[in-house]
Structure 1
Amino acid sequence: MASAAFEEIVEDFEFLEDWEDRYRHVIEQGKAMAPLDDALKVPATKVDGCASQVWLHPTIENGVFHFDGESDAMIVRGLIAVLRALYNGLSIAEVLQVDARAEMGRLGLNEHLSAQRSNGLTAMVQRIRETAAAAA
């Protein structure tokens, strides 16, 4: 289960021949994302377990999940953009049903991220799931 925005990213990735092009596409996704307001970069929104600085700011309105985020690393910022495409606009119940590892695997990301980046991605997904679970 993934959002239409994530399905568009999957389709884009199908046309990209090699991993370097896919990597650049992830970075471009991050560059296109609006920056997180500095006032939201606080300890409560900081994600532990990431090699770089990462902040996620979730909001839930009428049972619909959204989050914004920021990182000081370009590839991680891109991963945040991809996760936003995966989760934003889903209901809380849908967020909890998403198998992020499988969905990200559709992009070929699992085998091309360093161990540190993979751990950071796992930490971001865990934060998203914890937020949704707390709201459920």
Structure 2
Amino acid sequence: MTLPSAAQEALDAFTACPGWEQRARLLMQWGERLEPLDEAERRDANRVTGCESQVWLVAEQMDGRWVFRASSDARLLRGLLALLLVRIDGLDGKLLSQVDVVGWFEQLGLSRQLSPSRSNGLNAVLQQMHSLTAGS
């Protein structure tokens, strides 16, 4: 599966980082790229359950492909969400279900630094994406 261009950009940037400190800084910079959600989108219906931090996920279908937007109150998690979103950008429901999220964060060199709660949170986001796209 070919990576979307922004995902390839992320992969190149993260693999060029020599250590965790540089990756953490880069992760927060990626989080700043997330398009902010307005107050109406930060409602309970869009809240991802299973995350320690507050996470909201908004999805819409455009031309048969899913477009997701997300936000969190936690800086590192915003970065992880941004990296997840660039990886799945523009995929249809079938391709979305085939994405190996754990493998993606391993490629970025971030998997060992994911705490169990962050990993659980990302899995909860992915599960909500799957439920939103079910049947498409």
TM-score range, shorter chain: over 0.9
Which runs of 5 or more structure 1 residues have no equivalent in the other structure?
none
Alignment of 1:116 onto 2:117: yes
- In structure 2, distance between residues paired with 1:71 and 1:135: 27
Q: CA deviation at 1:111?
A: 1.0
**Aligned position for 1:37:** 38
Equivalent runs, 1:46-65 vs 2, <5 Å: 46-65=47-66
Equivalent runs, 1:1-136 vs 2, <5 Å: 1=1, 2-132=3-133, 134-136=134-136
Could you tell me which amino acid in structure 2 is paired with residue 129 of structure 1? H
Q: CA deviation at 1:19?
A: 0.9
Paired residue total: 135
Runs of 4+ in structure 1 off by over 4 angstroms are none
Cα RMSD (Å) of the superposition?
A: 1.2
TM-score, normalised to structure 2, is: 0.92
Q: % of aligned pairs identical?
A: 37
Which runs of 5 or more structure 2 residues have no equivalent in the other structure?
none
Bigger Cα displacement from structure 2, 67-76 vs 86-95: 86-95
